[in-house]
Structure 1
Amino acid sequence: MNVRSYDPFALIKDGNLPKSEIVAFYLLYYLYHQHKRFGNGFTTNYAYELLADIFNLSEEQLNYKMNDGRNHWKNRVQYAKRDLKNKKLVTEKDTGYWIIEEKGIELMSLICLK
């Protein structure tokens, strides 16, 4: 499956953010490729920027605050990471540094068959 052939922009309407499930998939996909290329993961801040670029988010979307004052985009990415972590697909090696787990590698190996 070629992830780039999927249109993530179809999931962004009226200034809304992509669904957390879609964010989780792309997060896992890029952690998988980071692991394959370099044998490591990446930081939380890198994930925010990478995924924002993939979804072509506007400044307004990136800076939108939830009712409690938290940044909505960062919360969405954190929620996606927590979901992947609960499924034992990713982990935090150190605070703010995410890596893919063996279970995540196995899953993405099946999805990313050439």
Structure 2
Amino acid sequence: MKLGFVRHGQTQWNLEGRLQGSSDIPLNDTGRSQAREAVKVLGAGGWDVIVSSPLSRARETAQIIAEGLGLELGPSYDLLIERDYAQGEGMVETEALALWPDKNGGGIEPLDSVV
């Protein structure tokens, strides 16, 4: 079995350097373009299914890729949702790190849990 992992395209929060984990921030136009570019990279991969997290940015990225590859979009899985940054969600990363070095504290989901 061959697995490939593709991160969702850019969102406004990505552009602004904000912590974005479980918040459902949509793709921006750059993110949509990035998803279309991913189709070119993945085109010869012989993929059987495209799945994603249920967050809209991940679903839209997956939908663009699936359509580009001529595949039906598969299911979403909650276990693929990104790290929960809790009190840090939406903060600029440098601000969050000043409060919680190494992103430990503030209710932030431990990295071990995400992995």
TM over 0.5: no
Q: Specify the structure having the higher radius of gyration (Cα).
A: 2
TM normalised by structure 1 equals 0.28
With a CA cutoff of 8 Å and minimum separation of 6, indicate the structure with the bigger relative contact order.
Answer: 1
